[in-house]
Amino acid sequence: MRTYGQPSKFEEPVKRLVGQPFGKLAPGAGVSFTPLQSLTGTITPNGLHFERHHGGVPEIDPARHKLLIHGLVKKPLAFDVAALLRYPMVSRTYFIECSGNSFRNTLPQAQDVPCGAIHGLLSCSEWTGLPLAVLLNEAGVDAGAKWLLAEGADAAGMSRSIPLSKALDDTLIALYQNGERLRPEQGYPMRLVLPGWEGNMSVKWLHRLKLTDGPTHTRDETSRYTDLMRDGRARQFTFEVGVKSVITQPSGGMTMPGPGLHQLSGLAWSGAGRVTKVEVSADGGATWRDATLQAPVLSKSLTRFHLPWNWNGAPAMLQSRATDEKGNVQESRSAWNAQYSSANRYHNTMIQTWAVNANGSVKNAYA
Ligand SMILES: Nc1nc2c(c(=O)[nH]1)N[C@H]1C(S)=C(S)[C@@H](COP(=O)(O)O)O[C@H]1N2
Ligand SMILES: [Mo]
């Protein structure tokens, strides 16, 4: 008997890949990547949810934490955690993707690293909590309020501006993640979840919401998370995550066990809603076949796809291309590069190519 279970010791290699590029200067800041290549289905186990912390993980005693709603409201309100836990709650399955996900594929050379090290700033959970609209209605939104400032209680005091329309639509204050209380890394005791929008806006360790008449232009929406275009200008407020997919099996660093029948599998998602189609190519995009989408296909959630592939043992270029219910189609590498500066690292949705060599080795490739 164990009071809290752990994976089998034989699964020890399945873990997050930690990157702390700021070293001694800011030891709590950095990322850890979900090992997408080692997982299947669509739900990320809580211990493997990717992490992005701008100022480390605060240790918050829920008995001492409050959420303040103020600014352009009729009645400023403060809620402690116990009060929020008494509300009726909803459960929704949504992905969170960091705006910096897949930045490695914007570097000049294709990096020979596993799928998760490229695309693993992406995870999906069943989030349980309150629609933010419930609390905003209780506070009474003034007619002049058009935006919210959401602020976290971490050392970074990370904050973002959120349009009121999104806050009143499907935004959640999440208290639970896959049935248990949020992990500290995911924002314990409460975080925002903005379905389908860039991960940075889902403010963790949420402690303040201020209703405002316009965006606040915080650090993370001016100096960061903007798209550098080819003409040198930057595009601000790219909220919705683009339509995207990646083959996770086989993927970089794996070796095909030999010619014959293989089950290709991967993940597709879109911030605009449901994924409606995933096409797979084994010849670098010359010809495509429709993959099977695993039910249920949920809006703003990860969708698992499968396709049997008879590998003849010759070199191949595997790609996947997703389409969503709004008709958006995932972009090729060249189409993406034609729009953005080569220095842009955010919101990369370009098609991934895995090169399968005659010896069966699988490597990241640019095509
Ligand atoms: N308060 C606070 N909220 C935050 C962050 C942070 O550093 N501080 N990181 C943001 C970023 S950049 C992303 S991508 C997501 C990551 O959520 P996760 O760590 O639960 O995967 O949280 C966002 N919310
Ligand atoms: Mo992020």
| Ligand 1 site-directed mutation target among 125, 203, 204, 348, most atoms within 8 Å of CB | 204
In a domain, 183, yes or no: yes
Structural domain of residue 96, as residue ranges?
Answer: 66-235
80 and 217 in a single domain? The answer is yes
* pLDDT confidence of residue 206: 98
Dihedral over Cα of 86, 88, 92, 97: its sign: negative
169 and 90 in a single domain? The answer is yes
In a domain, 40, yes or no: no
185 and 333 in a single domain? The answer is no
Residues facing residue 318 across a β-bridge: 354
Residue 264 has which token pair? 């290709």
272 lines ligand 1 (CB under 6 A): no
110 and 231 in a single domain? The answer is yes
Q: Which of 200, 235, 270 is the last residue of a domain?
A: 235
- Protein residue whose Cα sits closest to atom 8 of ligand 1: 158
What span, in angstroms and rounded, lies between the C-alpha atoms of 270 and 196? Answer: 7
In a domain, 102, yes or no: yes
CB distance 167 to 150 below 8 Å: no
327 and 346 in a single domain? The answer is yes
Check residue 90 and give left, alpha or beta (phi > 0: left; psi -120 to 50: alpha). beta
127 lines ligand 1 (CB under 6 A): no
267 and 250 in a single domain? The answer is yes
200 lines ligand 1 (CB under 6 A): yes
Measured in angstroms, how far is the CA atom of residue 17 from the centroid of ligand 2? 16
How many structural domains is the chain composed of? Answer: 2
In a domain, 153, yes or no: yes
In a domain, 83, yes or no: yes
Q: What is the pLDDT along the chain (367 residues), one digit of tens a residue?
A: 999 999 999 999 999 999 988 878 888 999 999 999 999 999 999 999 999 999 999 999 999 999 999 999 999 999 999 999 999 999 999 999 999 999 999 999 999 999 999 999 999 999 999 999 999 999 999 999 999 999 999 999 999 999 999 999 999 999 999 999 999 999 999 999 999 999 999 999 999 999 999 999 999 999 899 999 999 999 999 999 999 999 999 999 999 999 999 999 999 999 999 999 999 999 999 999 999 999 999 999 999 999 999 999 999 999 999 999 999 999 999 999 999 999 999 999 999 999 999 999 999 999 9
CB distance 320 to 278 below 8 Å: yes
285 and 166 in a single domain? The answer is no
What span, in angstroms and rounded, lies between the C-alpha atoms of 83 and 233? Answer: 46
Q: Look up residue 26 and give its amino acid.
A: A
137 and 201 in a single domain? The answer is yes
Check residue 211 and give left, alpha or beta (phi > 0: left; psi -120 to 50: alpha). beta
Residues with CB under 5 A from ligand 2 (ion): 52, 98, 199-200
The helix/strand/coil state of 221 is helix
249 and 223 in a single domain? The answer is no
15 CB-near residues (< 8 Å, 6+ apart): 35, 48
In CATH, what number is assigned to the domain containing residue 356?
Answer: 2.60.40.650
Residues facing residue 365 across a β-bridge: 353
130 and 164 in a single domain? The answer is yes
CB distance 199 to 132 below 8 Å: no
CB distance 149 to 218 below 8 Å: yes
Q: Which of 181, 210, 235 is the last residue of a domain?
A: 235
264 and 231 in a single domain? The answer is no
CB distance 332 to 338 below 8 Å: no
77 CB-near residues (< 8 Å, 6+ apart): 68, 69, 70, 135, 138, 139
Q: Which of 235, 258, 286 is the last residue of a domain?
A: 235
Nearest ligand (C-alpha, residue 122): 1
Q: Which helix (H) or strand (E) holds 263?
A: strand 260-269
267 and 185 in a single domain? The answer is no
In CATH, what number is assigned to the domain containing residue 217?
Answer: 3.90.420.10
In a domain, 42, yes or no: no
In a domain, 225, yes or no: yes
| Ligand 1 site-directed mutation target among 34, 48, 54, most atoms within 8 Å of CB | 54
Helices (H), the chain: 81-85, 115-119, 132-139, 164-168, 333-339
In a domain, 138, yes or no: yes
